[in-house]
Amino acid sequence: MKENDSSKSKSEKQQDLAVNKGSGYGKRLTTNQGVKINDDNNTLKAGERGPSLLEDFIMREKITHFDHERIPERIVHARGSGAHGVFKVTNPIPQFTKAKFLSEMGKETSVFVRFSTVQGSRGSTDMPRDVRGFAVKFYTEDGIYDLVGNNIAPFFINDAIKFPDFVHAVKPEPRNEIPQAASAHDTFWDFVSTSPETFHAVFWLMSDRCIPRSLRMIEGFGTHTFRFLNDSDESFFVKFHWKPVMGLQSLVWDENQKISGKDPDFHRRDLWDAIQVGEFPEWDLGVQILPEEDEFKFEFDLLDPTKLIPEELVPVQIVGRMTLNRNPDNFFAETEQVAFHPGHIVPGIDFTNDPLLQGRLFSYTDTQLSRLGGPNFHEIPINRPVVPVVNNQRDGMHRMTIDVDETSYHPNTINDNYPHQTSKAEGGFITHRERIDAYKVRARSKSFLDHYSQAILFYHSQTEIEKRHIADAFSFELGKVKRIEIRRNVIKMINQVNKDLAVYVAGKLGLDIPKDIPENMQHSPNAMPEDYNTIFVKPKLQESKALSILKNRKTDNIRTRKIAVLCDDGVDGDQVDAYKDQLNGEKAMVRVVASHLGTIKDENGKEVMVDDTDITTSSVLFDALFVPDGTEEMFETMSSDTSFKEFVRDTYLHYKPIAANGKAVGFIKKVIGEDLTTTEGIVEDGTVEEFVDAVKEARFWNR
């Protein structure tokens, strides 16, 4: 029986309200020192119209805090969205790693995940053509473990010393700070054309992977090859993968650009809304594991972060599932202040000699010192481990811990040598014992010098539709490049991957295919070091199905798909109700779009609630469209409204499913007009079940 609110005391009611209204509800306003404030609206002055007084400590504290409430944003990955969740083991792997959070069936570990764009500032759009960061913080019983990666498998460079150059090139050009959050400009493509190691990642960047439909529908990759260590000190190489349970889905470029204008917070809103309504995003964590003796088994180097291991050569083993089930309580305190670091590892996981990873181990600590005000960033609540932190580190800016020990050094006799070191048997971290015998040199391994083979593999693995999208992406990006010589240099590189692709892009740019090869061709597979084939075996793999989105799409449900019901006064209300009920039953998100908010009247005078208007929303914010039958007057109104017509046309031209009943069939065909090349994906006077099947398909590319 529900408790009667009238029986509760005033303080109990305040506590109930505080749960929904925030921790300050029902409390008194104070300074940061706890002094109760009598007047928070007026500065202390010498007379009502006189000068303000410097002694007003309340005003000074408030303004000073405001002046400093913005911390330096991340240099890259500044624009981010985060969520809390849990990781649960479904297939423990103690034979490979002693990491406890991976070694026990059903074990659960709390996580915090941050997704991000790379290029733009914190206030930029969610929707650039860009790589997405995919960083996961595991709060394990052995301490913090951070898996810091991206939604593309390869990286752009293979040595950390080039990272400042890469970022400087892709950022807005220094003279005018243009363009924001975009790679379509001279400096980025100049860097690409002179740095062939970038080209594999560039193909991923030009693919549909970098214009995702939702953050809930992207893969994640750990970028580097790491090590697993088991209880017997056996070492294995490992690559990490996050596989979205919803499957992969992308946008089309025109749609993506329009979303950026209609709702630049599209991805952030989508993630937040899904969690709020209980449609929790999920990913399976997979690993590719190789024994140490297989280190030189492939035609590429495992330590080269610009390469991937094709899943056909080493299958991905699923070890657990991550579910994001709670939104942050405060964006700044959690999503903005969370500090990820590939150097945060636990026993059972260790590093390799990947030169990009080695540099990141320095860079991330250095970055947190700058952004978060000093060495105590680990004490910020979102960064705290769930286990006690005990060591001899002391003081520093923003220290939260109040240490009471008499000693802060080791060894000591005063404190009986505490805190003690932990033995290997008790779970102390042990670094992998790796033999190193080499000269100190500034050089790059010859095994890193093949920069085209995996770009070729990636391109050949795409469907014809995806290849066309890559071609159009290159054409768009290079079409924004002002210097013709940069365009020519990139076309030379494209020509090493696929001649037809180079011909298409060159044609769009009004250029001939250059007859000479790139100056950096010494890094191509046709000009490898003489001893290359004696170092690496070269298996013949023409394509990898796992690299294509369309070859791996899921069509088993329409959960969280956003469906617009486009109508106005005079609509067939029974059709609206029937479709909404059934689509909501399929866990889709249905919204009625009309010419005004509030309610509209159906053909029988019944009120129908309106969720959005045709000028406050857009078809690009939806996955499918239903236009119900209605009166002649309704369709006359809709036919005279540009927004209604644009809604229908863009839905069709972006290949999305459409359902239309009765007079709506003629309406949509008239609106689409000469662009109506096929009715595929248009359900005419069909059942809701037929429309659901069409929505499962997502796109009808034959249009």
- What stretch of H or E contains 243? strand 235-244
Number of H helices, E strands in the chain: 18, 18
Token pair of 504 as six digits: 């298409």
Residues 654, 659: Cα–Cα separation, whole Å: 15
Q: Which of 4, 20, 42, 77 is catalytic?
A: 77
Going 519 to 523 to 526 to 528, the CA torsion angle's sign is positive
Scanning 231-326, the segments in alpha helix (DSSP H) are 253-262, 266-276
Looking at residue 613, its amino acid is: T
Q: Which of 4, 20, 41, 150 is catalytic?
A: 150
Helices 266-276 and 253-262: crossing angle, nearest 10°? 80
- Catalytic residue check, 498: no
d(CA 561, CA 557) in angstroms, rounded, equals 9
Q: 342 is written with which tokens?
A: 């590939």
How far apart are alpha carbons 573 and 571 in whole angstroms? 6
CA distances from 640 to 311, 389, 595, 628, 671 (A): 53, 67, 12, 17, 10
SS3 state at 304: coil
d(Cα 358, Cα 370) in Å, to the nearest integer? 20
Helices (H), 298-411: 355-371
- Strands 562-566 and 624-627: what pairing? parallel
For the question of residue 32 being annotated catalytic, the response is no
Q: Measured at the alpha carbon of residue 215, what is the angle toward residues 462 and 316, in degrees to the nearest 5?
A: 55
Please report, for residues 216, 245, 257, 457, the alpha-carbon distance to residue 268 in angstroms, rounded to integers and kept in the order given: 10, 19, 16, 33
CA dihedral (488, 490, 492, 494) in degrees, to 10, reads: -140
Q: Which positions are annotated as active-site residues?
A: 77, 150
